[in-house]
Structure formats: C-alpha cells, structure tokens
Amino acid sequence: MGQITLNKVRKAFGEAEVIPGIDLQINHGEFVVFVGPSGCGKSTLLRLIAGLEDISSGQIVIDGKEASNAPPGERGLAMVFQSYALYPHMSVRKNIAFPLKMAGMPPAEQDRRVEDAARILNLSNYLDRRPGQLSGGQRQRVAIGRAIVREPAAFLFDEPLSNLDAALRVTMRHEITELHQKLKTTMIYVTHDQVEAMTMADKIVVLHAGRIEQVGSPLELYNAPANIFVAGFIGSPR
C-alpha cells in the first residue's frame, strides 16, 4: 500500500512547460519530502499525484494500478489541507467526519473512525468544540484527522504548517513525524523549508524549475550533494 510510481510525468499549462518529465519511485511507508524554492512545481506535482490536475503525458501508477486518469476519489490518497480549511460552524466531530459523510458511510462506522482518529491525535476531549475554540495546533490536528478517517494508502501534505508561528511549526513537525511512526503510512510532504525537509524526511526530492535535481536521504544530500544547486539549497538556512 502507498507505493507510487511516476513515469515521465509531464505537465504544461498552455505554453508553460511546468514539469518537463519526472521519474520517481515512492515506496510503501516512506516519508518523502518534495523541497525546492517557490514556483519550482512542488504543488503542481502533488496535485498531479492527487488527481486534482490532469497530467499532460506520462504515467502514474498507484499500488500496481494505472491511475493516470483516475478521479481523485479513486486513488486512495488523502490530501491534508491547512487548518483554515475547517468549517467554523461545525463541531470537531463533524469536521473530521465530513469526508465520510460525503462518501455515504453508515453513521456508526463514521463514529468509530472519528473516535479512533481523535485518540491518535489527542483530540478525544475536544470533539464537541468548534474550531474557533481550539488552539492553532489542535486545529491543524483536526485537519489531519479529516485525512486519517479515510484510511488512505498515502497522505499528501502541501505546506501544512506555513501559516503557523515558528514555535508551533516545530511542535507540529514532531507531531507529524510521530504520526508517521504510528501509522506507518506513506506520506508525501511538500515544503520550501530546508529544515523541515532535513528533519522529517526518509527521502528528499529536491526540485528546481520542474526537474528533480537529486533524490536521497537527508544524510546523502548533506554529505554528497549532486550539484551546486542542491548544496546551496540544503546548506543555506532560511
């Protein structure tokens, strides 16, 4: 589960060739970080994997199945959005259950999944509150809970912490890493933050102008950067 293969995946928006062609293998249970400067195509690549954008050519295979043209709901993946995407007028319970309700799942099964997710995220005592009555970190956990209940083959994160203050960002980084250790599910995490990449990833994919500059563990990239770009990008703090 959660094995994703990209073969020559290309994306153009009109004349603009944003991703000229990417080959990448993501293995079961890996924590993979796509890192690179703003505008390099991180979000686009994640959205292609999620099925939120159509690829221009190439192939996406998820768990052995050709998924290049599969609608998002049939890919078995869950995108984690920033916490401000929560519904302010709904309880935490209803926010987390929302995707299950949309999918028409029986209420008893919805409740079971919401309570399991709340336990994993230490939100059990907050299920009847509204998002506005939670701390920033708790709200981000609710947004993650909404993905967990779908029991996806992989979680896709697009800069989920970028609107949080520095201290909370550090806390949430640890929480997401711990969540990965608990669930052992594939996670793809997009960030422009080298520190996040170096501290969270099993495997880092360095992107630059829609191309992969290097793929490797944090240690490999640190010890043996493939080129000046990787060396400069990994080496320089924000």
Nearer to Mg ion, 35 or 92 (CB): 35
Residue from 7, 43, 68, 177 touching Mg ion (CB under 5 A): that is: 43
Site residues (CB under 6 A) for ligand ADP, limited to 35-74 = 36, 38-44
- Measured N-to-C along each axis, helices 166-183 and 136-148 cross at an angle, to the nearest 10 degrees, of 30
Contact between 28 and 3 under an 8 Å Cβ cutoff? The reply is yes
Contact between 206 and 221 under an 8 Å Cβ cutoff? The reply is yes
Residue 44 binds what, of Mg ion, ligand ADP, none (CB under 5 to 8 Å, by partner type)?
ligand ADP
Contact between 88 and 36 under an 8 Å Cβ cutoff? The reply is no
Is residue 82 part of the contact set for Mg ion (CB under 5 A)? no
The Cα–Cα gap between 42 and 191 comes to 8
Nearer to ligand ADP, 149 or 156 (CB): 156
Length of the chain (residues): 238
Beta strand 4-13 with 57-62 is antiparallel
Is residue 138 part of the contact set for Mg ion (CB under 5 A)? no
Shortest distance, position 213 Cβ to ligand ADP, whole Å: 13
How is residue 236 written in tokens?
Answer: 């320089």
Shortest distance, position 43 Cβ to Mg ion, whole Å: 3
Using CB positions, name the residue nearest to Mg ion.
43
The footprint of ligand ADP (CB under 6 A) covers 13, 16, 18, 36, 38-44
